[in-house]
Amino acid sequence: MPQSKNTLPRKRSLKRKLLIDALFKQGHSIVSFPLRLIYLPVDYPEDVPYMVGFSVPKKKIRKAVHRNRVKRLMRESFRLQQHQLPLQEKTIMMWIYLDKKLPDYKTIYNKMALIINELHKSTRF
Over the stretch 15-26, which tens digit does the pLDDT of each residue have? 999 999 999 999
* Structural domains counted in the chain: 1
Of the candidates 4, 23, 30, the one whose C-alpha atom is nearest the C-alpha of residue 121 is: 30
CATH number at residue 79: 3.30.230.10
Question: What DSSP element (H or E) covers 38?
Answer: strand 35-41
**pLDDT given for residue 6 in this prediction:** 83
Q: Give the Å distances, CA to CA, from 92 to 29, 43, 47, 69, 112.
A: 12, 9, 13, 23, 16
pLDDT above 90: percentage of residues in the chain: 82
Q: Residue 33: its pLDDT value, please?
A: 96
Write the pLDDT tens digit of every residue in 28-42: 999 999 999 999 999
Average pLDDT over residues 9-17: 93
Task: Tell me the residue range of the domain where 98 lies.
Answer: 13-121
Q: Is residue 1 part of a domain?
A: no
Within-domain flag for 8? no
30: in domain: yes
Asked, for residue 110, whether it belongs to a domain, the answer is: yes
Closest C-alpha among 102, 110, 101, 32 to residue 77: 110
pLDDT over 60 (residue 5): yes
Asked if the structure places residue 28 within a domain, the reply is yes
Residue 77 lies in a domain: yes
Residue 87 maps to a domain: yes
Does 2 map to a domain?
no
